[in-house]
Chain A
Amino acid sequence: EAQVTQNPRYLITVTGKKLTVTCSQNMNHEYMSWYRQDPGLGLRQIYYSMNVEVTDKGDVPEGYKVSRKEKRNFPLILESPSPNQTSLYFCASSLRRGGDEQFFGPGTRLTVL
């Protein structure tokens, strides 16, 4: 089954404690993205990747890092989480860029205390 998986689904942590949210897709897609969803703000893109070892900032990259060492995996790293990073995070992948359909993961709800 074609899918995007994220782990963990729920995470409560404390300020400053480094964490990683994993994302994996099995569709051999080149493009992958991370979004955060906040009430009243919709989906905002954090980082995206065009292929292995090629990443770039989205609209709200501050406080986040990503890596793309393998085509299928695109982890999101919070080196020093802060309460304003409490949000719902989605990973997505697509075959092509721009207007192509994106496949989203189920989401990770992160709370930073």
Chain B
Amino acid sequence: DQQVKQNSPSLSVQEGRISILNCDYTNSMFDYFLWYKKYPAEGPTFLISISSIKDKNEDGRFTVFLNKSAKHLSLHIVPSQPGDSAVYFCAAASGGSYIPTFGRGTSLIVHP
């Protein structure tokens, strides 16, 4: 049973527009949420995170929103650039755990 779900396997967006990647979770013990970005033939790299005491965290063009009541988080990329084309993984963990749980990823394609 998936505890972290990324229901959209792929997303296509025009350059300059907003990309919104969604992630849902079921485990109410999760209190840290992270987004990783992965290019082909490379390992995932950390993008942005948020703890459950916040509902928004921003880093440049990237903003993560957390809705704890809905057990939902989203990553907004504004404006989207062709270099943002990658697979994005959502991950969740509880502070005391050793095992973050990853979603299955969303492949983002940003068209010039």
Contacts and interface: CB of A to CB of B under 8 A. Distances in A.
A106 B99 contact: no
Interface string B93-112: 11111111011110000000
Interface residues of A, number: 27
Interface stretch (A14-22, A42-50, A67-75, A76-84): A42-50
Interface residues of B, number: 29
B43 A104 contact: yes
B41 A107 contact: yes
Nearest to A31: B98
A40 B104 contact: yes
B93 A98 contact: yes
A52 B66 CA distance: 35
Interface of A: 4, 31, 35, 40-45, 48, 50, 56, 58-59, 90, 92, 97-107
